[in-house]
Structure 1
Amino acid sequence: MINPPTLVKTELTRLDSSFDEIVAPGTAAERLADGFSFVEGPVWLPAVTDTRYGGGGSGGYLLFSDPNKNVIHRWNPSNGEVSIFRTKSGYTGVGGVNIGEYHQPGSNGLTLDPQGRLTICEHGNRRVTRLEPNGTITVLADRFEGKRLNSPNDLVYRSDGTLYFTDPPYGLPKTFDDPAKELSVSGVYCLHDGVLSQVVSDLAGPNGLAFSPDEKFLYVDNWDVHRKVVMRYAVATDGSLSDPTTLIDLTSIPGEICLDGLKVDSRGDIFVSAPGGIRVFSGEGKPLGVIGLPELPANFAFGDEDGKSLYCTARTGLYKLRLGVSGLRAPGR
């Protein structure tokens, strides 16, 4: 662990002049903590929310998942300390599968619902849950048409409380070939008015997802070496999706690294964890620039009270980069 934060080498590649408005030239990221094996799914809990989970009301803080260790960490900006927020965050041991068989049994994606309640993608338990302020768990989704979900990966709420999440099998011990896998596809799901629907079924590895600022579009990226794309879908009031469009295609970039985390800022720019770093695109898919950190972030979240800090979870470290624009954050802020 690192305390105080340490400035790290940060490579900013400008592909369009507007990138300077997103990240000022010469800006360097800070390494806030390290020593992890693999961290994921960060979410910022603002000061108005943090008292619900024992934050003390002294200001906001960051939560992030450690899927390998099966815990959720809390990073406190007031003292720079990392502590355990929740154990058995993604696998409780129920079901007869030894935790040692899992590559990543813990939680992955984290977000807040419009009421500020923490919602969790649980790999090992193969479900999406909500952590209530009193510490109890409410299961939001664990089956589709009677079959167990694969291993929910990431999630996002619409402002009306409609929940979308991706469900590739990467949390299962043998991923696509796992004998316990019950669903034939890696789907994107929508939970609207208590009804779970499969809204995307043709992506091999749906992963990160986020809304455009006006919520007219949902963006979903794909962890697939053969199809490294960000898809755009038109969103209907009832939660259904239409007009699938390949907005960004990075398949021509060689290597095994695919697309992971995805977020959108208040201007509508799209941030994607991709080969080479965090790639930033306009809402129309135009490349704007690349943010290169010492490690490739798996995911990231906008935080601090002004929403202008990008918190990045990479393999071994937690990083923070100050931006010139604020991000779209989980609605419970």
Structure 2
Amino acid sequence: MYGEVQGTGFDRIDCRFDACLTGHGRVERLWSGARWLEGPVWFAAGRYLLISDIPNNRLLRWDDTDDSMSVFRTPSNYCNGNTIDQQGRLITCEHLTRRVTRTEHDGSLRVLADEFNGKRLNSPNDVVVKSDGSVWFTDPTYGILSDYEGRRAPAEQSGCHVYRIDPETSDIKQVTHDFMQPNGLAFDADETALFISDTGASHAENGPKHIRKFSLCEKGQTLGESTVFAECSAGLFDGFRFDTAGRLWSSAADGVHCYDADGTLIGKILIPEMVANLCFGGAARNRLFIAGTTSLYAAYLNVNGA
């Protein structure tokens, strides 16, 4: 993990990117040995990171205290996206069971969503929890397209949508209607907008490969108008996160792309394999954990995760 990792580096596209870097920081490879890493989530109280290895049907645990990687859960039901709620509980998207679950403090699992309008979900992909406790998740078809990341199965829903789970009633509401393959999602720091990536280009020629920005309506419970925030210039956007200054850090085919709040691509963190997702962690949330295809990378930055 020490020294310069071949194929990594920082690509300054705009001078605004300089403020994001420590000056002498480097990209570290923390661990290797996965088939397709996804869904990293940081647990500050335990100083560990959970991350999905989807094809290997396991959820891994990287320990910041000794740099060790272990298996947290197997089988994991080919889990993908993960997040943490205000009570410190793990929220997980599972491809195989086509559901969203919550791991309680005693280790038991509670199903938050597995159907909509009496029909099974496609394969929940990524998930975020808003400050009001509501759970928002994307539901593309990647987990039912083959047996590699789930199980091949017919879709029961009319399309691929984004849903909101009410924190009081547990009711599930569809909040989008025009996505091809909704994927990563995140609220900006002040929760005035929800950003969602569409990776429809993965299976459709000239399909979308962008991130859309949605305004929030009805006290933050529904989505309003949207604009395209950014188009991906290298592969597809998958998972992404915000820092406290409003910059968006997104996965891409060549690493991590950093966008200023106005949508300008200001720099990249180059990774020698495709990146699927990322998250901020560490005591000051100034360490960016990066899910490469087979390996977990990290870089200390001069920013703090939102």
Q: Aligned equivalents of 2:67 and 2:152: distance in 1?
A: 40
Contact residue 114 and residue 160 of structure 1 kept, 8 A: no
Match of 2:82, SS state, is strand
Q: Distance in 1 between matches of 2:214 and 2:146?
A: 30
Distance 1:41 1:179, change over 3 A: closer
Q: Choose the corresponding residue for 2:138, options 166, 170, 184.
A: 166
Q: Given residue 211 of structure 2, which amino acid in structure 1 is its aligned partner?
A: V
C-alpha deviation, 1:313, in angstroms: 1.0
1:244 maps to which residue?
226
The size of the alignment, in residue pairs, is: 294
| TM-score (norm: length of structure 1) | 0.84
Q: Is 1:6–1:31's contact at 8 Å kept on the other side of the alignment?
A: no
Match of 2:204 in 1: none
Whether contact under 8 Å (1:217, 1:234) holds in the other structure is: yes
TM-score by length of 2: 0.91
Q: Output the amino acid matched with 1:234.
A: S
| Whole-Å separation in 2 of the counterparts to 1:181 and 1:323 | 41
Q: Is 1:77 paired with 2:51?
A: no
- The residue type paired with residue 229 of structure 2 is L
Between the aligned partners of 2:19 and 2:123, the Cα distance in structure 1 is: 37
In angstroms, what is the RMSD of aligned CA positions? Answer: 1.7
SS in 2 for 1:20: helix
Does 2:210 match 1:229? yes
Deviation at 1:200, TM superposition (A): 1.2
Correspondences of 1:173-252 after superposition (within 5 Å): 173-174=145-146, 179-192=153-166, 193=168, 194-225=170-201, 226-236=207-217, 237-250=219-232
Distance between the aligned counterparts of 2:2 and 2:59, measured in 1? 20
Q: How far off its partner does 1:6 sit? A: 5.7
Query: Structure 2 counterpart of 1:76, which letter?
Result: D
Residue by residue over 1:147-204, the C-alpha shift from the partner in whole angstroms, topping out at 9 and shown as x without a partner, is 11111000111111111111101011449x9543101211111112322111112111
**Which residue of structure 2 aligns with residue 100 of structure 1?**
none
Match of 1:298 among 269, 276, 297: 276
CA distance in 2, matches of 1:79, 1:113: 26
1:323 is the counterpart of 2:297: no
Q: CA deviation at 1:88?
A: 1.8
User: 1: distance between equivalents of 2:228 and 2:117?
Assistant: 28
Specify the alignment match of 2:54 in structure 1.
67
Moved more, 269-278 or 149-158: 269-278
Deviation at 1:290, TM superposition (A): 1.2
Distance 2:62 2:27 in 1: 16
Q: Distance in 1 between matches of 2:259 and 2:71?
A: 35
Q: State the Cα distance separating 1:323 from its structure 2 match.
A: 0.6
Report how far residue 238 of structure 1 moved: 4.7
Deviation at 1:274, TM superposition (A): 2.1
| Deviant stretches of 4+, over 6 Å | none
SS in 2 for 1:227: coil
Structure 1 position 35, deviation (Å): 1.6
Structure 2 Cα separation of the partners of residues 35 and 249 of structure 1:
31
Is the 1:12–1:25 contact (alpha carbons within 8 Å) kept by the matching residues of 2? no
AA paired with 1:197? K
Aligned partners of 1:190 and 1:84: how far apart in 2?
30
1:68-110 superposed Cα distances (whole Å, 9 cap, x missing partner): 11111001121111111111212xxxxxxxxxxxxxxx10001
SS of structure 2 residue aligned to 1:171: helix
C-alpha displacement of 1:224: 2.2
Task: State whether residues 254 and 273 of structure 2, in contact with CA within 8 Å, keep that contact through their aligned partners in structure 1.
Answer: no
| More strand, by proportion | 2
Q: 1:89 aligns with which of 71, 76, 83?
A: 76
Are 2:236 and 1:258 equivalent residues in the alignment? yes
Q: Which residue of 1 aligns with 2:35?
A: 37
- List aligned pairs for 1:7-156, cutoff 5 A: 7-9=4-6, 10-47=8-45, 50=46, 60-90=47-77, 106-156=78-128
Cα distance in 1, alignment partners of residues 44 and 58 from structure 2: 21
* Matched letter for residue 117 of structure 1: R
Deviations 1:24-77 (A, max 9, x none): 345311001002111110001012xx3xxxxxxxxx111100111111100112
Work out whether residues 254 and 271 of structure 2, in 8 Å CA contact, stay in contact via their aligned partners in 1. Answer: no
**SS of the residue aligned with 2:142?**
coil
Secondary structure, counterpart of 1:19 in structure 2: helix
Letter in 1 for 2:227: T
State the identity %: 38
Structure 2 match to 1:331: none
8 A Cα contact 2:2 2:28, kept in partner? yes
Structure 2: 5+ residue runs without aligned partners?
Answer: 202-206
Q: Is the 8 A contact 2:34 2:56 kept in 1?
A: no
